[in-house]
Homo-oligomer: A and B are copies of this chain.
C-alpha cells in the first residue's frame, strides 16, 4: 500500500519493494482486518513502509484521496494488503492528532474488515496475521483503532449476521458457535445456540458431512437467511452497559 505498486495478483509482489517517498498527509484511511485462527481472532499487520519508523509493523493504510469515496478507499487498501477483498467492511471511528500515526497524518478514519477463515496473507512476509493478544508494538493510533474495531465488531454482532463473514461458504454449526464464542468472549450452551439459530432461519443444511478427527461427523450448513422474524420485543434496560 501507500506507494507500493498495486498488484492485484495475490502473490508475486517483490519482497524488496521500492522504498516509498515519505509524504505527510492530513487524512489517512486505515483498515483493521480480522480473521479467525482456531480459537483466536487475528488482525492483519504489514511491515512499516518507512524504514525509520518507530514501529516495525502497522495497519494497512493510505492517504485519503479527494477523488475517491472513503469506503472505496478502504476496500482498495484491504485488497492491496491482502491480495483479496474483505468479505465485509464498515467504518469504525475517526481519530485525531492526539495519538501518533505512523504516517504522521493529522486525522485518520479507521475501517473494519472481515476476512473468511483460511485466507492467507500474500506471500513475501510483508503482511502477517497476529493474534489479538500478541500484537507487536504499533503506533498508538493504530493500537486504539484495533480496540475500537473489536468493539464495533462485537456491537455489530447482534445487529447483523456478521459472524458468517468470518467463515467459509459452508461450515459446521460447531464452527459457527466457535466464532460466536470468540467474538463474545464466553462459552455458549450448544442446545441454546442451535435452538436460537433454528428459530431465526439463518442457515440451511446441505447434503454434506465433514468428519474432522475423531467423533461423529458434522453436517455442513450454508448461510441462507429465509424469513425476517419481526419479533417486536420490549425495552431491555437490563442489558445496558
Q: What is the interface of chain A, defined by CB distance below 8 A to chain B?
A: 26-27, 64, 66-70, 91, 93-98, 106-107, 109, 155, 158-161, 180, 184, 186, 188-189, 192-193, 196-197, 199-200, 202, 228-229, 231-241
Is A94's CB under 8 angstroms from B66's CB? no
Is chain A's binding surface mostly helix, strand, loop or mixed? loop
- Cα A126 to Cα B98 with chains together (Å): 33
Q: What residues on B are CB-neighbors of A234 within 8 Å? A: 188-189, 192-193, 196
Q: List 17 other contacts, CB 8 Å, given A91-B94, A155-B155, A188-B235.
A: A26-B26, A26-B27, A27-B27, A64-B96, A64-B106, A66-B106, A155-B159, A158-B239, A158-B240, A159-B241, A180-B235, A186-B232, A196-B234, A199-B238, A200-B237, A200-B238, A231-B239
Chain B: which residue is nearest A197 at the CB level? B237
Q: What residues on B are CB-neighbors of A161 within 8 Å? A: 237, 240
Task: Give min CB distance, A222 to chain B, whole Å.
Answer: 16
Q: What residues on B are CB-neighbors of A180 within 8 Å? A: 235
- Cα A236 to Cα B196 with chains together (Å): 7
Cross-chain pairs A/B with CB under 8 angstroms, 6 sampled: A26-B26, A158-B240, A160-B241, A196-B237, A200-B237, A228-B241
Name the one of B91, B107, B155 contacting A93, with C-beta atoms under 8 angstroms: B91
Say whether, besides A91-B94, A94-B91, A200 and B240 are in contact (CB < 8 Å): yes
Is A70's CB under 8 angstroms from B91's CB? no
Q: What residues on B are CB-neighbors of A196 within 8 Å? A: 234-238
Is B70's CB under 8 angstroms from A95's CB? yes
Chain B: which residue is nearest A109 at the CB level? B94
Task: Give min CB distance, A162 to chain B, whole Å.
Answer: 9
Is B239's CB under 8 angstroms from A233's CB? yes
Name the one of B199, B237, B239 contacting A202, with C-beta atoms under 8 angstroms: B237
- Cα A26 to Cα B107 with chains together (Å): 11
- Cα A27 to Cα B70 with chains together (Å): 13
